[in-house]
Amino acid sequence: MATQLDEIISLCKRRGFIFQSSEIYGGLSATYDYGPLGVELKRNVRDSWWRNMVYLNDNVVGIDAAILMHPTVWKASGHVDAFNDPLIDDKQSKNRYRADQLIEGYIAKLRKKGKDDKADAVYERLVEALNSEEMPAALYAIIQEEEIRSPDSGAFDWTEVRQFNLMFSTYVGPASDTENKVYLRPETAQGIFVNFHNVRETSRLQIPFGIAQIGKAFRNEIVARQFIFRTREFEQMEMQYFVKPGMQMEAYDKWKQLRWDWHVSNGVNPDKLRWHEHEKLAHYADAAVDVTYEFPFGWQEIEGIHSRTDFDLKSHQEYSGKKQEYFDQQENERYIPYVVETSVGLDRTILMLLFDAYRKEDVDGDSRVVLGFKPSIAPFKAAILPLVKKDGMPELARKIEADLKRHFNTFYDEKGAIGRRYRRMDEIGTPYCITIDGESLDDGSVTVRDRDSMNQERINKDRLSGYLLDRISQG
């Protein structure tokens, strides 16, 4: 039976939201292309984030840094040495696994069998192993001692556990030698850190202030799965908020709340959102929490809010030899600011919004699929539908469409039975369908059908744009 994820993947392909990358060549795994509807949805979510973070906060400004950066950036950030996954290969099937996830799968199986004591003990060892200096060897020891078998071949024939760096590398210029090696950025945040002084000086901002950025990031994920949940090329929306040391917890609490509110403002059901506090903090962090969403495949991270101390700026100061201090005029002191980061994946947010909006309903013995997007993020805000393709209805409909298009994205459709046209719009999340019928030609009124209630209201065409704009801004 098709899972809800299968249904969403199929809808995304059928209606032009998301396609497998390079599909005609058999596809490239864990990379996706956004089609005509997907690109509108993504743009609306991106714009919503930008408005919320940059336009609504006087002390937050935006940048757009390059994807390729000086390679020392990634030494300073710790990514060259520590952005690794512990991997193990099944020698029989040649499939590769993340060793920690293999052990997690084994723990889940123990719990299913009711062996909770044993599961707790292995979990404790796993946590210890992940914190250990000898992490690969410690994970390998658990796999050996517990005789954990390969999920695909069932074999117990493993290689050693090895650390695998997740950064994609390439070369600048014609020579492929190590001197010219650069990386595709694995996060957008470092583009913000290295521009801290440029932005502060040119914007004349005083601490506290934030720098926001939206852009592509790349990770050579080994276990990429669940459609656009974990991909090798994805978009991040990140903001670094620079504060006086000691003020980070206040900023952390403030941004935690604001970020939660943003997800809810996009229509996400708050009952499906939950905080996940990090028990194990990265060495540079003094607090970290994730916003998680309940997907059918479990509670998963959508966004991270991290209090990163002065780790990044201090490290860039050390590696670049350029001072990263801030002179606080009010306090008459110099310091390296602390940073609170908010970091959300755009593609992952899109997947959450698709799951959250997707529903199947029975309507008078018929069934319909609805993407109940909030109007502000829906790809089309209204569909313009002449009831029949004659008697001057298409001409009037085109006039109405031309007027509405000045305000928002619309879709025109004059083919097929009106009921089927409504269903097609429901399936892509169009909140309003405007039908032009015989009465419209007589008195200028049209019907406005609401996607969710399916109620229809008659409105004069001259009032239509105001009426819809009002609803879209409220909705």
348 interacts with ligand GAP by CB under 6 A: yes
Site string for ligand GAP, 296-335 (x = CB under 6 A): -----xxxx-------------------------------
Question: Smallest distance from the beta carbon of 192 to ligand GAP, in angstroms?
Answer: 9
**Nearest CB to ligand GAP, comparing residues 282 and 369:** 282
Question: Smallest distance from the beta carbon of 234 to ligand GAP, in angstroms?
Answer: 4
**Nearest CB to ligand GAP, comparing residues 260 and 432:** 260
Eight-class DSSP state of 457 = E
Question: Smallest distance from the beta carbon of 232 to ligand GAP, in angstroms?
Answer: 7
Task: Identify each DSSP E strand in 56-188 by its residue range.
Answer: 60-63, 84-89, 96-98, 162-165, 169-171, 181-183
344 interacts with ligand GAP by CB under 6 A: yes
Question: Smallest distance from the beta carbon of 304 to ligand GAP, in angstroms?
Answer: 4
User: Rounded to 5, what percent of the chain is helix, strand, coil?
Assistant: 40, 25, 35
343 interacts with ligand GAP by CB under 6 A: yes
219 interacts with ligand GAP by CB under 6 A: yes
b/e per residue 179-206 (b: at least 16 CB within 10 A): eeebbbbbbbbbbbbbbbeebbeeeebe
Strands 410-412 and 326-328: unpaired
Question: Smallest distance from the beta carbon of 228 to ligand GAP, in angstroms?
Answer: 7
- Of 452, 428, 431, 433, the C-alpha closest to 387 is 433
21 interacts with ligand GAP by CB under 6 A: no
Residue 367 and residue 63 in contact, taking contact as beta carbons nearer than 8 Å: no
- Among positive and negative, which fits the CA dihedral 229, 230, 235, 236? positive
- Of 392, 370, 385, the C-alpha closest to 453 is 370
Question: Smallest distance from the beta carbon of 60 to ligand GAP, in angstroms?
Answer: 16
Question: Smallest distance from the beta carbon of 281 to ligand GAP, in angstroms?
Answer: 13
221 interacts with ligand GAP by CB under 6 A: yes
User: What residue is closest to ligand GAP based on CB?
Assistant: 345
User: Site residues for ligand GAP, window 188-207 (CB under 6 A)?
Assistant: 189
Instruction: Give Cβ neighbours of residue 260 (< 8 Å, ≥ 6 apart).
Output: 273, 291
Q: Residue from 44, 150, 231, 324 that binds ligand GAP (CB under 6 A)?
A: 231
- Among positive and negative, which fits the CA dihedral 25, 27, 29, 30? positive
Amino acid at 162: R
- The site for ligand GAP (CB under 6 A) is made up of 187, 189, 219, 221, 230-231, 234, 236, 238, 301-304, 341, 343-345, 347-348
